[in-house]
Amino acid sequence: MTKNSPRLLMTGARGFIGSACLDLFSQEEMEIYATSSQPVNEPTHRHVTWIQTNLLKEEDCKKLIETVRPTHLLHLAWTAKPGKFWKDPENIDWLQSSLALFKAFFENEGDHAVGLGTCAEYESNHETCTESLTPTFPSSLYGACKLSCGIGAQAIANAFNKKMTWGRLFCPYGPSESPGRFLPDIVDHLLRRESIACGSGYQIRDYIYVKDVARIVLALLKEKIEGVINIGSGNPVSLRDVAKIVTNELGYSELIQFGERPSLTQDADRVVANVGRLKEELKWTPLYSLEEGIKEMIEYRSQVIKK
Q: How far apart are CA 68 and CA 7, in angstroms?
A: 8
Q: How far apart are CA 48 and CA 51, in angstroms?
A: 10
Which residue type is seen at 187? V
pLDDT tens-digit profile of 193-230? 999 999 999 999 999 999 999 999 999 999 988 999 99
What is the pTM (predicted TM-score) of this model?
0.95
In the prediction, which pLDDT does 261 show? 85
CA dihedral (217, 121, 184, 246) in degrees, to 10, reads: -90
Residue 169's beta-bridge partner residues? 118, 231
All residue ranges of the chain with pLDDT < 50 are none
What distance, in Å, lies between the first and last C-alpha atoms of the chain? 39
Instruction: Say yes or no: domain 7-172+209-233 is CATH 3.40.50.720.
Output: yes
Whole-angstrom Cα Rg for the chain: 19
In the prediction, which pLDDT does 2 show? 58
Residues 20, 208, 165, 103, CA torsion sign: negative
Q: How far apart are CA 65 and CA 85, in angstroms?
A: 27
Q: Between β-strands 227-231 and 236-238, what pairing exists: parallel, antiparallel or unpaired? A: unpaired
pLDDT tens-digit profile of 249-278? 999 999 999 999 887 656 789 999 999 999
Task: Judge whether 7-172+209-233 and 175-204+236-276+286-306 match in fold.
Answer: no
pLDDT tens-digit profile of 166-185? 999 999 999 999 888 999 99
In the prediction, which pLDDT does 44 show? 77
Q: How far apart are CA 6 and CA 24, in angstroms?
A: 15
Of the CATH numbers 3.10.129.10, 3.90.25.10, 3.20.20.10, 2.60.40.10, which one belongs to the domain with range 175-204+236-276+286-306? 3.90.25.10
CA-angle at 202, arms to 201 and 206, nearest 5° = 95
- Residue ranges of the domains in the chain? 7-172+209-233, 175-204+236-276+286-306
Nearest partner of 206 among 241, 253, 256, judged by Cα: 241
Question: Which helix (H) or strand (E) is 49 found in, with range?
Answer: strand 48-52
Nearest partner of 181 among 85, 269, 87, judged by Cα: 85
In the prediction, which pLDDT does 156 show? 98
Q: Please count the CA atoms within 13 angstroms of the CA of 120 that sit on its side-chain side.
A: 19
In the prediction, which pLDDT does 266 show? 65
